[in-house]
């Protein structure tokens, strides 16, 4: 008798399942799911074709940042509409769910406000052309190459040590593009013959210009008069990402030239005079 009851229960379950699978609600749900998958597939195919046609230039990279963000929004909208429609077909009050989601969205909005700030600033960076991927930028005291960028974060690789740094776009208030030139200020003694110094440093600038990676080197002459030395200026034109290595090579060459001509670089000296006390 117990086995018969279990069999009857199983029969009822199968009958209800068959009735549901042949109902308009299930068929409609399948159609909605199929349409949603088709739309997602078309979106994915369209985006893939766009990626294949994109060249590696700044304008296309900016468009890709918008495309990635826009694609996520569209996919989320398609899935949300499909789920809500299926719930409505099955007699679930979507209005109350949306009302509840409205409250939840307000709470979630507080949690994701930083993300929204990132997106807003990311859009501003793109529209105002703050920088492009591959640019050498200065962020605070940090200089680095922009390796990746989207509407949420910017990734740069530091020139000083090669570390990769990720910056939330909301924290970017000011960015400067690093120029392709670097100055070297050299302090020499007032006792040195100015004409001799100008001639020597002019010759040294031409030698620096021969360093691999240096586009040009110009000796600018006297920069200013300090309290204990005269400041002379070099300007080296070179790729920003190689500036540190080239600058070190140039400094070594300048030091070698000065030493070979008996010219010393002045440094601060402290004279201490000790007076003995009066003897009784």
Reported for 176-181, long-range contacts at CB under 8 A and 24+ positions apart, including other chains, are: 176/137, 176/138, 177/131, 177/135, 177/136, 177/137, 177/138, 178/136, 178/137, 178/138, 178/143, 178/240, 178/243, 179/240, 180/215, 180/237, 180/238, 180/239, 180/240, 181/235, 181/236, 181/237, 181/238
Nearest to 204 by CA among 232, 227, 178: 232
pLDDT of residue 200: 94
Phi, psi for 160 (deg, rounded to 5): -70, -40
Nearest to 265 by CA among 171, 170, 153, 189: 189
Phi, psi for 60 (deg, rounded to 5): -65, -35
Tokens standing for 14?
A: 């199968």
Q: What proportions of the chain, in percent to the nearest 5, are helix, strand and coil?
A: 55, 20, 25
**What is the value of pTM for the model shown?**
0.50
pLDDT of residue 280: 47
| Contact (CB, 8 A) for 136 and 143 | yes
Neighbours of 126 (CB within 10 A): 19
pLDDT of residue 4: 46
Mean pLDDT by 10 residues, the chain (280 residues): 57 74 81 88 82 61 65 82 80 67 56 72 77 82 83 84 86 80 90 92 93 92 90 91 88 92 77 56
pLDDT of residue 71: 80
């Amino acid at each position: 008798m117990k086995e018969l009851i279990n069999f009857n229960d199983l029969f009822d379950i199968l009958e209800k399942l068959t009735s549901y699978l042949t109902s308009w609600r299930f068929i409609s749900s399948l159609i909605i799911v199929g349409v949603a998958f088709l739309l997602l597939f078309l979106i994915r195919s369209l985006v893939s074709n766009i990626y294949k046609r994109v060249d590696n230039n700044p304008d296309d990279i900016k468009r890709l940042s918008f495309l990635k963000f826009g694609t996520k929004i569209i996919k989320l909208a398609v899935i949300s509409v499909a789920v809500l429609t299926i719930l409505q077909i099955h007699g679930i009050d979507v209005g109350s769910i949306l009302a509840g989601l409205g409250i939840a969205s307000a709470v979630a909005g507080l949690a994701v406000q930083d993300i929204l700030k990132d997106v807003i600033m990311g859009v501003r960076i793109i529209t105002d052309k703050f920088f492009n991927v591959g640019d050498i930028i200065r962020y605070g005291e940090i200089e680095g190459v922009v390796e990746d960028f989207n509407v949420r974060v910017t990734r740069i690789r530091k020139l000083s040590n090669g570390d990769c740094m990720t910056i939330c776009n909301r924290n970017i208030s000011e960015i400067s593009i690093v120029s392709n030139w670097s100055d070297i200020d050299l302090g020499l003694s007032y006792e040195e013959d100015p004409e001799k110094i100008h001639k020597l440093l002019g010759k040294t600038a031409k030698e620096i210009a021969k360093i691999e990676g240096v586009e040009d080197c110009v000796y600018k002459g006297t920069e200013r008069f300090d309290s204990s030395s005269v400041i002379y200026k070099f300007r080296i034109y070179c790729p920003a990402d190689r500036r540190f290595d080239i600058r070190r090579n140039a400094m070594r060459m300048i030091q070698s030239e000065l030493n070979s001509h008996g010219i010393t670089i002045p440094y601060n000296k402290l004279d201490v005079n000790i007076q003995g006390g009066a003897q009784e």
